[in-house]
Amino acid sequence: MASENVNPNRTIVEEVSNWLKLYRDGTVERSGPPEAGPLLTPVVPYSEPCNGITVHDLTTNPPIRMYLPETDANPSHRLPILLHLHGGGFCVSHPSWALYHEFYAKLSTTLQVSAVLSPVLPLAPEDRLPAAIDAAFSALLWLRSVAIAEVEMTPVVERLHESGDFSRVFLIGDSSGGNLVHEVCARAGAVGPGLLHPIRITGGILLNPGFASSKRSRSELENPQDLFMNLEMIDKLLKLAVPAGGTKDHPYVCPMGEDAPAMEGLNVPPLLVAVTELDLLRDRQLEYYEAMKKAGKEVEMVMSHGMPHVFFLNKFAVEADPVTGERSKELVQEIKKFVESH
């Protein structure tokens, strides 16, 4: 008799272990592995400097989290701006998570930048791609409005307006956020400089991008799986993220595949692709790098040996393991070098 009272709309139609449940009525329940709880805890914004930065949540569309380094509010020269696009398989994560806070706070103080901005991107399956791409591009348009002073000038926005070098905007993204970096760079190149002027995307930084395809790669078959990256996550999250009926061969997932626009025709800025040796998606990342290079694009690659997917976001591993800590420092220095050289 009890089964007669079960709401059929609350039947789970898709589940990604420890991360997501999709119900028949379209609602989504997101969680996370208990072991990862401290890394997924939101960090509240704060206006009193701590460890060299302040953190602000802007009520823009989309909402944006802003990291401001504790520097002279009126520097003698304008500084570049980083626009971060968060990962999570297009389906989970939020820029307020502690794992992002630790890494991007570090970038804010290590790199000579005006600010690091991280828009809150819509998540699939409620908002399938290209919703996240559209939102990321909208964040670029908001940045343009800041440059020409066509937005409400709150104190922190005024500081960005005064100190930011809007001709040196770098897109940076981890995991699926790396895919978004590629897509937004390509879209910006397609519309031309007129729409975004005076914004200029000077470089794109893809950190362990979430490139995949329907055919298993050697790294997917041989590299170790963990809570943050396993084959179930790759298959199910990407299936939920691409446009309905799409596969992992969709250009949003596999921009170097047969279904994607020819890379030779893309107008993209210089790119830095960060690859990790033990990443399940390593081979597809290397394939992307090689395809970009073959297409004549300006692209660099840095390899973190002995490291898994997005290892640099795991604060506990970075702090507890000397090798992981050193690899994270090396990656930050490569990012710094790339920004300073463009």
Within 226-287, strands assigned E span: 271-276
pLDDT tens per residue, range 241-267: 999 999 999 999 999 999 999 999 999
User: What is the full DSSP assignment across 24-68?
Assistant: TTS-EEE---GGGHHHHSBPPPEEEEETTEEEEEE--SS-EEEEE
The CA-based dihedral angle spanning residues 185, 191, 192, 194, taken in that order and rounded to the nearest 10 degrees: -120
Separation of alpha carbons 180 and 134, rounded Å: 10
Q: What does the pLDDT read at residue 117?
A: 98
Tokens 């898709």 belong to which residue?
14
Q: What does the pLDDT read at residue 75?
A: 62
Angle (nearest 5°) at CA 213 between 208 and 215: 125
Cα 78 → chain centroid: 25
Separation of alpha carbons 70 and 50, rounded Å: 9
Q: What does the pLDDT read at residue 227?
A: 83
Report CA torsion sign: 313, 210, 291, 203: negative
Name the band, by pLDDT with cuts 50, 70 and 90, for residue 194: confident
* Whether the Cβ atoms of residue 324 and residue 311 lie closer than 8 Å to each other: yes
| pTM score of the predicted model | 0.96
Side-chain half-sphere of 69: how many Cα atoms within 13 Å?
A: 22
What are the residue numbers of the active site?
Answer: 175, 279
Q: What does the pLDDT read at residue 6?
A: 59
pLDDT tens per residue, range 62-86: 999 999 998 755 567 899 999 999 9
Region 274-282: mean pLDDT is 98
Res. 108: pLDDT tops 70: yes
What are the residues facing 58 on neighbouring strands?
64
Name the band, by pLDDT with cuts 50, 70 and 90, for residue 98: very high
* Whether the Cβ atoms of residue 284 and residue 217 lie closer than 8 Å to each other: yes
Domains of the chain, each with CATH number or no CATH = 1-31 (no CATH), 42-340 (3.40.50.1820)
Q: What secondary structure letter does DSSP report for 224?
A: P
pLDDT tens per residue, range 113-170: 999 999 999 999 999 999 999 999 999 999 999 999 999 999 999 999 999 999 999 9
